[in-house]
Amino acid sequence: MAAVDDLVALDYTGASTNVRAALLMDQKDANAKDLKTAQENLTHAQADVAAVSGLTQAVSNLTAAQDNTVAAEAYVTPAQANVAGAAAAYNVLNKATVSVGEDGTVAGLIVLNDNGDLVLAKGVTETTNKGVTELLNASIAKEAADSGLVNAQDAEVAAQKVVNELDLTDTAKADLQAVGAKMGLADGALPTAAQIDSEIARLDKLVETTKATADLTDVVALAADATAAATDADAADAALTDAVALRADATAAAMYGLAPTFNPLLNTATRLHLCIRPIRGSLHRLLANIG
């Protein structure tokens, strides 16, 4: 029953016999509709491909190239393992610690000849160096696997390019070439979808960075304004201090009738201080947050 539950949208196992029959019928109808839709989509897609001259063959070539890449990849991993195993065996047999280079060579044992082929170094034989023949063959096989994968990948890229550009109009090609030029590609080069996506991502990041820089500039300007305002508030405090001192002087001079002149000045300074105090507190808090 568990297997049927996986195929039916609702609970099949816990239902009665009649409900099970109804569930199966409903699921059968739903599957038939899905299959019909999928077949129609496939037919339309095949028709679209057939409408473009040469596209059917181009898609076929691309599929074959993709299969070749997968097959080439399957040779690389075991080839690498064989090289590692051959090197380990050689080291055990000869009490050595050799390693294989990226190009397949082994210092003092395996070199590249004038044709670029891997061969044993002069004077090195299986007799003088046990296991060196197996190491050489494994290294050759690995280089062949690596080269085969690179060639397969290049062929796949070329096949994909044909599919991408086969149905392009002259206007579309010109537009893509213009985009490619702005991306810094070679003259006349058509950017791939992957290259365009990468460029868009780069530009989006640049926009974010630029916006962050602009926001920082605004914060710095705000801090400068707040600092200036705080300085003004400090000046007001100093004025109040001076006024208090003047009032003391005025009190001392009251006997001479000078107090009426100093009292209005002190009252004005006091009111100014009371207005500035809350503003100053807000500015100090703002500066602390910005800092």
Share of the chain above pLDDT 90, in %: 32
Reported as a single tens digit per residue, the pLDDT across 128-140 is: 999 999 999 999 9
Residue 112 DSSP SS3: strand
Tokens 């009111």 locate to: 271
- Rounded to whole angstroms, the Cα distance separating 191 from 226 reads 50
Reported as a single tens digit per residue, the pLDDT across 203-235 is: 777 777 766 666 655 555 555 555 565 565 555
Reported as a single tens digit per residue, the pLDDT across 96-107 is: 999 999 999 999
pTM: 0.48
Reported as a single tens digit per residue, the pLDDT across 50-82 is: 656 677 788 889 999 999 999 999 999 999 999
Distances (CA, A) of 39 to 31, 34, 44, 182: 12, 9, 9, 42
* Model pLDDT, residue 241: 59
Reported as a single tens digit per residue, the pLDDT across 133-178 is: 999 999 999 999 999 999 999 999 999 888 877 766 677 677 777 8
Strands (E) located in 94-227: 110-112, 118-120
Q: Is the pLDDT of residue 255 over 80?
A: no
Q: Which tokens belong to 146?
A: 């690596």
Closest Cα to residue 9, out of 20, 17, 37?
A: 20
* Beta bridge partners of residue 120, listed in sequence order: 110
For the ranges 7-16, 30-39, 104-113, 152-161, which has the lowest average pLDDT? 7-16
Mean pLDDT value across residues 10-24: 67
More confident residue, 26 or 92: 92
Average predicted confidence (pLDDT) for the chain: 75
Mean pLDDT value across residues 245-270: 51
* Model pLDDT, residue 259: 47
